[in-house]
Amino acid sequence: MSYQRFTKDIGIISLTQLVIFLKGLIALPIIAKLLGAENYGVWEQLGVTLSLVTLAATLGLPYTLVRFLAAEKDKKEIQDGIYSVLTIVFAVVLVISSGIFLFSASISSFFGNGKVLVQILAFAIIFDCLNLVFLGIFRAFRQIKKYSCFMIFQSLGEVGLLAATVLLGYGMFGAVLSLLIIRLINFFIMGGYIIKKIGVKVPNFSKTKEYLKFGLPTVASDISFWVVQSSDRYLIGSFLGVIYVGYYAPAYIIGSIVVFFIGPFSLVLPIVLSKFFDENKISDIKTYLKYSLKYFLMMAIPSAFGLSILSKQLLTIFSTSEIASNAYFITPFIVLSILLYGICDIFTQIIALKKKTKITGSIWIGAAFLNFGLNLIFIPKFGIIGAAITTFFAYAFAFILTWYYSFREFQFEIDWKFIIKSVFASILMTLFIFRFSPMGLWQTIIAIVSGALLYGILIFLLRGFNEREFEFLKGLFGKNKL
């Protein structure tokens, strides 16, 4: 498996992540500016609920398909694996969604929105879970282009329908309905394609026990990660009111932009590394992990500095001046938290290769308890800044433990000299942006572009990359570019 194919896959996924990222940025002003901060708080609470239920209902099985089917050649084993996972996930999500639908009145009163929004969400959850399994199949067989096409279609479709329904006056009803419609369309297209390729088979569930043994600990990890990432919206809404969720969430989104840079590696690395591990090519695994961490930090470190200094300007552009003035100070804490998460995600690949997912689950459970407990103390006392601080503590906790346990399995080289050079170049870039002091959309764009160019020049002058690493980068940004 060549570096060129790996970098090409990273390039494709980067394009996909860019579209998903833009979807979030476009949705933010559509709802925040047209429907207000309070409605954006409702939208955010519905969104984090969708992600929570999806994590629980899929039982970690979409990722399990990636780990177990990436090197599988037997068609019958592939069919059994896919249809057994689909059957289990459908049964679980049907029960959960039915409960949400039946108790929609109580749930809607907690969120402070209409009952019908929760009922629509219940149906959207079903198709979101099944679509995640379909996407896991594409990842398992490294059909990255198809994976990306469906993800891009869903993102563009969502934001297009969202804009249309809100502008036509359907408000939050139209916004939530757009989530269901696009997921339903994607379900039929992906499902039809997969049936055409592998046929239909009644599963015998021969690998179900093995799959669940691998997948269930990742559920604990994923839900605990959700608690760290999203539960503060519920607590802020309970202690301070839904309008403060509307303040906090946009700042969190701006700070989370850094996750865009880890997304491609998170999606492609498990496919590549699983195959190498099964073939006992440990040296290749270490090389890929080394390069992946370095390239992530190359982009994430300057972005963290830039987003922190431009937080107020970006929030004013993408939301409202009211939100910006009440939440710009949140962004630096979130940026640093997501930077640690990105590094942590690369380290986690080692634990997953060893199939020791219980370790990852235990780490994130600990982080979740730490985050939730501190939020109960910090939010009532310090407000939304307290939620941001506890988020950083939780991510730092998970980062330290993940680093420790992953490197107990095996270690790969970390380029500390490059990290120092990147931080130094980022500080100089930040001083330039601060002195420029941009105001408004166009000045902010100029500041971002100029800052990125300055950082790139400084890294080049500081010799941040050697000749071999430049060749690797050419594969990503050169002839393999789509």
**Dist CA 338 CA 471 (whole Å):** 28
pTM of the full predicted structure? 0.71
pLDDT computed for residue 254 by the predictor: 87
At residue 141, the pLDDT reads 79
Q: What is the pLDDT of residues 330-360, one digit of tens each?
A: 999 999 999 999 999 899 989 888 878 788 8
What is the DSSP secondary structure assignment for residue 424, as one 8-state letter? Answer: H
Nearest partner of 336 among 365, 310, 305, 370, judged by Cα: 305
d(CA 403, CA 340): 11
- In this predicted model, what pLDDT tens digit does every residue of 214-261 receive, in sequence order? 777 777 777 777 777 777 877 887 788 778 888 888 888 888 888 878
Q: What are the residue ranges spanned by the domains of the chain?
A: 3-477
Look at the chain and count its residues: 482
Q: How confident is the model at residue 187 (pLDDT cuts 50, 70, 90)?
A: very high
If phi over 0 gives left and psi between -120 and 50 gives alpha, with beta otherwise, what is residue 50?
A: alpha
Q: What is the mean pLDDT of residues 302-325?
A: 89
Token pair, residue 284, equals 């290749």
Q: pLDDT > 70: what percent of the chain?
A: 90
Of 282 and 16, the structure prediction assigns the larger pLDDT to 282
- List the structure tokens of 395: 């991510």
Mean confidence (pLDDT) of the chain:
83
Helix 208-239 to helix 75-102 angle, to the nearest 10 degrees? 30
Query: Cα torsion for 55, 37, 449, 344, to the nearest 10°?
Result: -30
Neighbours of 373 (CB within 10 A): 12
Mean pLDDT over 54-76 rounds to 76
Q: How many CB atoms lie within 10 A of CB 209?
A: 9
Give the mean pLDDT of 42-49.
80
Looking at residue 481, what is its pLDDT? 35
- Whether residue 341 contacts residue 395, with contact meaning beta carbons closer than 8 Å, is answered with yes
Give residue-wise pLDDT tens across range 413-453. 898 999 999 999 999 999 999 988 888 888 999 999 999 99
pLDDT at position 330? 92
Structure tokens at 468: 């071999």
Q: What is the mean pLDDT of residues 126-132?
A: 91
C-beta separation of 84 from 207 below 8 A: yes
